Amino acid sequence: METRGTGTLEDDTKVSKTKVDSDVQFQQGLAYVRGDSGTVDYHKALQLFNRAADQGHTGAMCAAAAIYALGARVPQRTSENIEIDPSRAYQLYSRAAAAGDVDGIFGLYKCYYSGIGVESSPTKAYEALVEAATCSHIDAQLILSCNHLEGSLCEVVDQNTRDYWLHQVYSSCYSPAHAGRPQAQFYMGEVARLSEGRFTGGKSMLEWYKLAADQGHPKASYILAELLETGEACEDKCPDYVRAVKYYRQALSKLEYIFGSVDVEAALHRCYDSAVDKLLSTDSDARTYYEASVNNNVLVRLAEWYMANTEEIKDAAERAMRCYRRAAENNCSIAQHVLANRAYEQKQWEEAAEWYAKLIATNDSTAYYRYAMCYLNRPELPNAYRIAFVWMQKAAMEANDPAAMHQLGLMYIEGRGVKKDPVLGKELLAKGGLPTQQRNH
């Protein structure tokens, strides 16, 4: 009796310790996926999931399988992506399903439906889906209630069958035990949508999604953002890009490996681009995004906004110049004018001449006069006066610039860059007719 008891106790202790270890590893893996410490690390998460899976933890099997099935495609949150491994995903889902894990069974549905690590089979996919739904897997129940099943996995699903599965979800989520939980609220939004208002729990689809989204639910945030972007969630049916940005960003910040990031980022950027004026004054993250833009109009608008808010934002002027420079380097004439004029006013003749030269190359006659002045103010350069004369003459004769006529007159009188001709010089001075304070603008 003593021997038997000792053996049993040792065995039970080992099993208990293994379960505790695998549970800890699984939870640590989820923490890395969520980025609880501030950094998402799929590699560490996958290592922990695999260790727990090797000890028989079915939740870890499904978590690792999900990563292998989709890969870790969140480049802005992890420095190195994880390659997709469909065969490994299928193996792990199969092990979990064999152990009776409902998420494993649902995972097999996804494998058979999409051909992940196994040959696609609508029949096997449907069988796995029904088995998971029968075991109260809510996602499986929702899929069985969708119209898109017709002709894909099974014969046409009649309305009674759809309503049956919708009611199963409704019964699971709309109960005191799940009251206030964001996941349940999200599912209630799905039920209200799929049932076309027949099962609502007293709230509309949008109200359920918003309740879940306001508690940080990533999928609810994404769906609500989509509806705001299209205007469907707005009373006036006009897009609300500012609020859409809020919820897209929330979805992105709480993203998990089962919820691909590419579409969220693209949608977020669409809204950024559609609401520049509103977001400039309200959203510092949007301004950071705009600073990296390749759209010259956006860069110039952002630069102008920074210049108008130098008192409120410490480095606004510096940020504005960075925006102007990026746009100017991308051949934006407005930005090139700003940088050229700024350098000119600061008597940085070389830099000013470089920007004016780019404008001249596009036949911008408004740059002729100051380009000439950049050389007139640097007489130490070879042929400086001659170059100044050529462009001053073009400014005077082609652009009809009074200041250029005045300077050209002085050049003729003094013989700078041209043979002296006091008579012509005086004629040009008279033609320029500028007050003294405007003669060197």
Query: How far, in Å, CA of 151 to CA of 314, rounded?
Result: 61
Reported as a single tens digit per residue, the pLDDT across 378-436 is 999 999 999 999 999 999 999 889 999 999 999 999 999 999 999 999 999 988 775 44
Domain at 20-121: CATH architecture: Alpha Horseshoe (1.25)
| Residue 82 pLDDT class (50, 70, 90 cuts) | confident
Tens digit of each residue's pLDDT (9 = 90 or more) over 265-291: 778 878 888 888 888 888 888 888 888
User: Who's near 372: CB < 8 A, 6+ residues apart?
Assistant: 387, 388, 389, 390, 391, 392, 395, 404, 407
pLDDT for 77: 43
Q: How does the average pLDDT of the chain come out, rounded?
A: 85
Contacts of 436 (CB under 8 A, 6+ apart): none
pLDDT in tens, 349-387: 999 999 999 999 999 999 999 999 999 999 999 999 999
Query: Whole-model pTM?
Result: 0.60
What letter would DSSP give residue 199?
S
Cα torsion 372, 374, 378, 383: sign? negative
Q: Please name every residue paired with 154 in a beta bridge, in sequence order, or none if there are none.
A: 150
Domains 20-121 and 333-438 share a fold: yes
Band (pLDDT 50/70/90 cuts) for residue 2 is very low
> How do residues 113-125 score in pLDDT, each as one tens digit?
989 999 999 889 9
Say which residues have a Cβ less than 8 Å from residue 144's Cβ, sequence separation at least 6: 129, 130, 133, 157, 161, 162, 165
Of 255, 257, 276, the closest CA to residue 265 belongs to 255
Q: Where are the domains of the chain?
A: 20-121, 136-204, 333-438
Closest CA to 270 of 251, 255, 289: 289
Q: Which CATH superfamily is domain 333-438 in?
A: Tetratricopeptide repeat domain (1.25.40.10)
